[in-house]
């Protein structure tokens, strides 16, 4: 396994801060983990992504699998909903990750993230280096080097590690284990497990705390929903939750939409909005945040047509990303194995992107497209459902009563043409606006060593925060008088910038870093023949066009 291209990610994070794409939230107070703020360029980029999604999915949704038109309507539901919503949906009982706590430094870790975080931790890197190996790879057992590290640098770097606290017992056991092995190389995770286990203490081998090397507790469930209270009293009755997904707002409004709009099945309800998850280990820049935005569609269809619509949405959503510039070799569609599926899902595909913070060959989820069957609408009618003998049935207590009661409202649909009443099936393409933004940022980030300032952002023109810049070559000789009206005309239609300072090379470089696709320069020749130069961000190529054609030129280039 190759090491993560960490330095690329560091450069992207640095550019995002330097140019005002993304800042750490509350940075002047030391920041708050898992929360991010979008700066002046970032907010434009993210808005463009959300607008492109709304435009392409809601206002101008594509034709269906058989070339038919279908309705797609929007919704903006409240973030705080009736707490029963989350009990019936299963989030209250099941929306949990396994968490481990360090007995020494008290830090919390998501159990399945521990191996990955260990690979990245400074002390495991230092230890691997002392053994001339890699934190994720094989190392040669060198008793003297280990002894030197645990009694030297390890004391400062990993004070909680059993081998640092009790070197004699821990290293003695390791030596014994190694003496019975034919081969003297072992992988780092195995070595770490031995260094973390004090033979005198109870418990078997397990990985140490990535922070201090200490002992981790057994994994235990941790519900990811943020809790709050409505009203003045902080009682159990007033307890509410910040929504962990926007989807439930759509399900509970299914009947409202049906009764208020003339929509017929098949149709979709789309929503963009904030969701909150108290992630145990938020990490990888904005990839796993505690506050993020989702762009979700719940598409309602007849059960007999649900597989066709599932395939349609899977392919449509993948195409959306490639059309906006995510290269196909970095993007993939991954069908979940049967044992990976949620209890309600008949099929799920993830659209994944090879983010640069991942190991080579690894992909991270950008969007999930799930076939949710009739699980959601039935849950909100009947009560929380569980799967029993392959069927969804109401989850009951020992007294036979529903564990969590549904609304009792009729959420079935009567199909006039089929003369049939049924519970619609749901296909859910669920995208993250922040993960999407991060993927478009990573994809756009380019280093072109042939340029004096090599870093540039090759955003698709539809997504670029600034569409054009206008420069008078010099800030005198009547050039600003020509440049300013050109700029104002562009500004009426698109976000644009005017810059009359610094050398022309520096001005181009600033715009390249911001991802501005076109720069117009007004120079001496403009005074003679009325032409301006237009420079293409990606190729650096320049051509001259008449200044009266600037708007037409941009219209053509920025066409969707």
Distance, CA of 81 to CA of 230 (rounded, Å): 10
The region of 229-237, 253-261, 289-297, 501-509 touching ligand GAP under the rule CB under 6 A is 289-297
Least distance (Å) from ligand GAP to the CB of residue 276? 9
**Residue nearer to ligand GAP on the CB measure, 288 or 507:** 288
One DSSP character per residue, 349-393 reads: EEEEE--TTSPTT--EEEEEEEEEETHHHHHHHHB-EEEETTEEE
Least distance (Å) from ligand GAP to the CB of residue 431? 6
The binder of ligand GAP chosen from 292, 321, 413, 487 (CB under 6 A): 292
91 binds ligand GAP (CB under 6 A): no
Q: Are 446 and 455 in contact (CB under 8 A)?
A: yes
Distance, CA of 365 to CA of 354 (rounded, Å): 9
The binder of ligand GAP chosen from 42, 213, 368, 461 (CB under 6 A): 368
Instruction: Cite the beta strand spans of 378-505 per DSSP E.
Output: 385-388, 391-394, 413-415, 420-422, 425-432, 445-447, 455-457, 468-472, 496-498
382 binds ligand GAP (CB under 6 A): no
The region of 290-298, 299-307, 410-418, 482-490 touching ligand GAP under the rule CB under 6 A is 290-298
**Residue nearer to ligand GAP on the CB measure, 243 or 547:** 243
* Token output for 364: 């991270």
Q: Rounded to whole angstroms, what are the CA distances from 128 to 133, 179, 188, 419?
A: 5, 21, 7, 69
352 binds ligand GAP (CB under 6 A): no
**Residue nearer to ligand GAP on the CB measure, 167 or 429:** 429
Q: Are 443 and 460 in contact (CB under 8 A)?
A: no
Question: Alpha carbon 331 to chain centroid distance?
Answer: 14
Least distance (Å) from ligand GAP to the CB of residue 350? 7
If phi > 0 it is left, if psi is from -120 to 50 it is alpha, else beta; for residue 284 that is: left
358 binds ligand GAP (CB under 6 A): no
**Residue nearer to ligand GAP on the CB measure, 157 or 348:** 348
Distance, CA of 371 to CA of 381 (rounded, Å): 19
Distance, CA of 558 to CA of 484 (rounded, Å): 21
The binder of ligand GAP chosen from 100, 211, 294, 316 (CB under 6 A): 294
Distance, CA of 469 to CA of 446 (rounded, Å): 20
What lies within 8 Å, CB to CB, of 532 at 6+ separation is 486, 520, 521, 522, 523, 526, 544, 545, 546, 547, 550
Task: Output the residue with the shortest Cβ distance to ligand GAP.
Answer: 432
What lies within 8 Å, CB to CB, of 234 at 6+ separation is none
Distance, CA of 436 to CA of 442 (rounded, Å): 10
Least distance (Å) from ligand GAP to the CB of residue 374? 16
Distance, CA of 481 to CA of 219 (rounded, Å): 68
Least distance (Å) from ligand GAP to the CB of residue 360? 22
Least distance (Å) from ligand GAP to the CB of residue 289? 4
The binder of ligand GAP chosen from 12, 366, 483, 509 (CB under 6 A): 366
Contact pattern from residue 240 through residue 259 relative to ligand GAP, giving x for each residue in contact according to CB under 6 A and a dash for the rest? -----x-x------------
**Residue nearer to ligand GAP on the CB measure, 439 or 473:** 439
- Rg, Å, the chain Cα set: 28
Least distance (Å) from ligand GAP to the CB of residue 470? 37
Least distance (Å) from ligand GAP to the CB of residue 23? 17
Contact pattern from residue 432 through residue 471 relative to ligand GAP, giving x for each residue in contact according to CB under 6 A and a dash for the rest? x-xx------------------------------------
Catalog residues that contact ligand GAP under the rule CB under 6 A: 245, 247, 277, 279, 288-289, 292, 294, 296, 365-368, 428, 430-432, 434-435
């Amino acid at each position: 396994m190759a090491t993560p291209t960490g330095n690329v990610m560091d450069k992207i994070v640095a550019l995002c801060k330097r140019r005002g794409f993304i800042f750490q939230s509350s940075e002047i107070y030391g920041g708050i983990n898992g929360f991010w703020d979008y700066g002046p360029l970032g907010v434009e980029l993210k808005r463009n992504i959300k607008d492109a999604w709304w435009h392409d999915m809601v206002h101008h949704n594509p034709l269906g699998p058989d070339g038919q038109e279908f309705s797609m309507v929007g919704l903006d539901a409240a973030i705080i909903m009736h707490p029963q919503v989350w009990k019936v949906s299963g989030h209250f009982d099941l929306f949990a990750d396994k968490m481990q706590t360090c007995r020494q430094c008290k830090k919390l870790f998501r159990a399945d993230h521990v191996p990955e975080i260990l690979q990245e931790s400074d002390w495991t890197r230092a230890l691997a280096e002392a053994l001339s190996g890699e934190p994720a790879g094989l190392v040669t057992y060198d008793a003297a080097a280990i002894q030197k590290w645990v009694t030297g640098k390890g004391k400062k770097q990993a004070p909680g590690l059993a081998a640092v606290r009790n070197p004699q017992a821990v290293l003695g056991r390791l030596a014994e284990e190694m003496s019975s092995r034919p081969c003297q190389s072992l992988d780092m995770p195995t070595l770490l497990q031995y260094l973390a286990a004090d033979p005198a203490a109870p418990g078997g081998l397990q990985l140490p705390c990535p922070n201090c090397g200490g002992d981790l507790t057994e994994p235990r469930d941790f519900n990811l929903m943020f809790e709050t209270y409505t009203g003045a009293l902080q009682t159990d009755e007033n307890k509410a939750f910040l929504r962990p997904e926007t989807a439930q707002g759509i399900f509970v409004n299914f009947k409202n939409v049906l009764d208020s709009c003339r929509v017929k099945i098949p149709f979709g309800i789309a929503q963009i909005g904030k969701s909150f998850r108290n992630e145990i280990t938020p990490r990888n820049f904005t990839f796993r945040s505690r506050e993020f935005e989702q762009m979700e569609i719940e598409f309602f269809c007849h059960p007999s047509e649900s597989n066709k619509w599932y395939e349609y949405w899977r392919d449509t959503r993948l195409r959306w990303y490639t059309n906006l510039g995510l290269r196909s070799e970095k993007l993939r569609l991954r069908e979940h194995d049967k044992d990976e599926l949620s209890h309600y899902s008949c099929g799920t595909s993830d659209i994944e992107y090879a983010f640069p913070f991942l190991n080579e060959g690894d992909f991270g989820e950008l969007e999930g497209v799930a076939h949710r069957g009739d699980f959601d609408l039935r849950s909100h009618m009947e009560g929380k459902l569980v799967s029993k003998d392959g069927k969804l049935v109401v989850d009951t207590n020992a007294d036979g009563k529903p564990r969590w009661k549904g609304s009792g409202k009729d959420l079935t649909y009567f199909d006039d043409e089929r003369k049939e009443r049924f519970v619609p099936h749901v296909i859910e393409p669920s995208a993250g606006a922040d993960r999407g933004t991060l993927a478009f940022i990573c994809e756009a980030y380019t280093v072109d060593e042939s340029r004096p300032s090599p870093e540039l952002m090759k955003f698709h023109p539809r997504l670029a925060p600034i569409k054009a810049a206008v420069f008078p070559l010099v800030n005198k000789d009547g050039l600003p008088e020509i440049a300013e009206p050109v700029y104002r005309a562009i500004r009426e239609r698109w976000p644009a910038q005017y810059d009359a300072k610094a050398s022309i090379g520096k001005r181009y470089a600033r715009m390249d870093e911001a991802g501005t696709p076109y720069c117009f320069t007004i120079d001496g020749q403009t005074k003679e023949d009325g032409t301006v130069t237009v420079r293409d961000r990606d190729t650096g190529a320049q051509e001259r066009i008449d200044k009266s054609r600037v708007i037409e030129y941009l219209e053509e280039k920025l066409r969707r």
